[in-house]
């Protein structure tokens, strides 16, 4: 397997943009895979000439953990990340909040005809950097080229494989009345960063997406007793995770507005445009439920990590009728309805 990075653009002799020939299974497709994907993603398990990756056995006694996801973010590159890093982090995070250790990722790319090859090279380099940072390997995948007008430039789909120790048991069914809810950091950063990057409302800002791996945060929580449940609040944000808890437990969730960490920039944008930060996506946060005796220790453990320095206890699970209630800073109460419309499509 060779890299030939100094000749990659001349090797892709179809020009500077993706053509339908790059997806025809022939010479140009092979060159695209070798000079872009394999060049960045090469590892000891990635064999571009094989139809499947043959993986080592999982640790004895462990349980396989499998997840699948798709990514259609617009714009493809945004402050704090791009669709490539988002795909890796999103897949890793789904495994991490399930209590699993991520190991391998399968990557499928759907590239629109006319997409810039140089831009694709940047995205795949970002995929490789995010995978290295999370200590996972991209071991197999597929590439398709869509006709111009049939795609949003680039779509990615992933499957992630990891393992979970048999002594780790998490789930919505473990949540009890009185349990506390924790957020590992400020909410709504990703959704607001994407909104600003689109420049649809004449707004600009320096806010960065929180797109990153939550694996260190998950490990910190798993190392302590009392953990019931974890979720990464992506589409639908904190509000949707809260409604998921209510729906599956039949209990209530009370959020404390004064405790929910929200950046001033996020709050300002939401006030100007009429968005509610509780519904905005995060891509590097954990919402966790822990028992009352463990909440202080759990928050302290998260705050020892740079990504968790703003962690806070933000709510409680109650025995009232099943609803999500926000206790406002002024001492009032407001129902948090379940998300119905899609105020910000193609967010992740």
C-alpha–C-alpha distance, residues 235 and 298, integer Å: 25
Q: Angle 181-184-190 (CA atoms, 0-180°, nearest 5)?
A: 115
pLDDT of the residue at 9: 45
Mean pLDDT within 12-33: 87
Helix and strand element counts for the chain (H, E): 10, 13
Q: pLDDT tier at 14 (50, 70, 90 boundaries)?
A: low
Q: DSSP assignment of 269-285, as one string?
A: HHHHHT--GGGS--SS-
- How far apart, in whole angstroms, are the C-alpha atoms of residue 226 and residue 298? 9
What's the pLDDT at 215? 98
**pLDDT tops 80 at residue 151:** yes
The two three-digit tokens of residue 108, written as one number:
């499928």
Q: Write out pLDDT tens, residues 59-93.
A: 999 999 999 999 999 999 999 999 999 999 999 99
In the numeric block, the tokens 């394999």 are attached to 38
- Which residues, listed in sequence order, are joined to residue 299 by a DSSP beta bridge? none
Domain boundaries, the chain: 5-164, 172-335
**In the CATH hierarchy, which fold is given to the domain comprising 172-335?**
Phosphoribosyl-aminoimidazole Synthetase; Chain A, domain 2 (3.90.650)
Percent of the chain exceeding pLDDT 70 equals: 96
pLDDT(3) > 50: no
What pLDDT does residue 304 have? 98
Of 71, 69, 76, 88, the C-alpha closest to 115 is 76
**So what's the pLDDT on residue 86?**
98
Give the pLDDT band (50/70/90) at residue 12: low
* Tokens describing residue 33: 């895979």
Nearest to 105 by CA among 122, 76, 127: 127
Q: Would you say the pTM of this structure is higher than 0.85?
A: yes
Is the alpha carbon torsion for 298, 304, 306, 312 positive or negative? positive
Query: In Å, what is the CA distance from 43 to each residue of 67, 89, 341?
Result: 21, 19, 42
**Residue for token pair 């509610």:** 276
pLDDT at 242: 98
Residue 322 CA neighbour count, 13 Å, CB half: 11
Structure-token pair, residue 175 = 């949540």
CATH of region 5-164: 3.30.1330.10
- Residue 40, classed as helix, strand or coil, is helix
At a CB cut-off of 8 Å and minimum separation 6, what does 130 contact? 84, 85, 87, 88, 89, 213
Whether residue 337 is predicted with pLDDT greater than 80 in this model: the reply is yes
For the chain, percent of residues with pLDDT exceeding 90: 86
Helix, strand, coil percentages (3-state) for the chain, rounded to 5, are 35, 25, 45
* Residues 6+ away with beta carbon under 8 Å from 190: 80, 209, 210, 211, 280, 281, 282, 283, 284, 347, 348
By the 8 A CB rule, do 213 and 284 touch? Answer: yes
Residue 167 token pair: 């002594």
**What's residue 13's pLDDT?**
58
Name the average pLDDT for the chain. 93
3-state secondary structure at position 25: coil
Helix (H, G, I), strand (E, B) or coil at 308: helix
Please tell me the predicted confidence (pLDDT) of residue 7. Answer: 39
Three-state secondary structure call for residue 312: strand
- Summarised one tens digit per residue, pLDDT across range 186-238 is 999 999 999 999 887 777 778 999 999 999 999 999 999 999 999 999 999 99
Degrees to nearest 5, angle at CA 118 with 114 and 119: 75
| Runs of H (alpha helix) within the chain | 8-11, 27-32, 39-41, 83-96, 117-134, 189-198, 215-222, 237-249, 264-273, 295-303
Q: Give the torsion sign (CA, 30, 33, 39, 44).
A: negative
């Amino acid at each position: 397997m060779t890299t030939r990075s100094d000749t990659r653009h001349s090797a892709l002799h179809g020009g500077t943009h993706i053509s339908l020939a790059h997806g025809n299974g022939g010479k140009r497709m092979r060159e695209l895979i070798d000079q872009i994907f394999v060049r960045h993603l090469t590892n000891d398990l990635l064999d571009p000439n094989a139809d499947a990756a043959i993986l080592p056995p999982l640790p004895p006694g462990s349980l396989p953990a499998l997840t699948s996801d798709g990514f259609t973010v617009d714009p493809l590159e945004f402050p704090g990340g791009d669709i490539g890093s988002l795909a890796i982090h999103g897949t890793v995070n789904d495994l991490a909040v399930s209590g699993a250790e991520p190991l391998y990722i399968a990557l499928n790319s759907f590239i629109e005809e006319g997409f810039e090859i140089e831009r694709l090279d940047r995205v795949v380099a970002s995929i490789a950097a995010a995978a290295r940072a999370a200590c996972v390997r991209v071991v197999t995948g597929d590439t398709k080229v869509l006709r111009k007008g049939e795609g949003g430039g680039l779509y990615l789909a992933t499957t992630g494989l990891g393992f979970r120790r048999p002594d780790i048991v998490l789930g919505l069914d473990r949540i009890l009345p009185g349990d506390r809810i924790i957020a590992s950091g400020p909410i709504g950063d990703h959704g607001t960063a994407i909104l600003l990057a689109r420049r649809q409302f004449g707004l600009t800002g320096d806010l960065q997406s929180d797109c990153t791996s939550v694996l260190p945060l998950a490990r910190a929580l798993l190392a302590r007793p009392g953990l019931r449940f974890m979720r990464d609040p992506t589409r639908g944000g904190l509000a949707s995770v809260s409604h998921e808890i209510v729906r599956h437990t039949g209990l209530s969730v009370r959020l404390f507005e004064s405790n929910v960490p929200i950046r001033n920039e996020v709050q300002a944008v939401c006030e100007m445009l009429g968005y509610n930060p509780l519904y905005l996506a995060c891509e590097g946060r954990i919402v966790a439920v822990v028992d009352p005796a463990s909440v202080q220790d759990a928050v302290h453990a998260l705050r020892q990590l740079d990504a968790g320095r703003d962690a806070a206890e933000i709510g409680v699970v109650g025995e009232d009728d099943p609803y999500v209630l926000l206790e406002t800073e002024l001492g009032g109460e407001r129902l948090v309805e379940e998300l119905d419309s899609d105020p910000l499509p193609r967010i992740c």
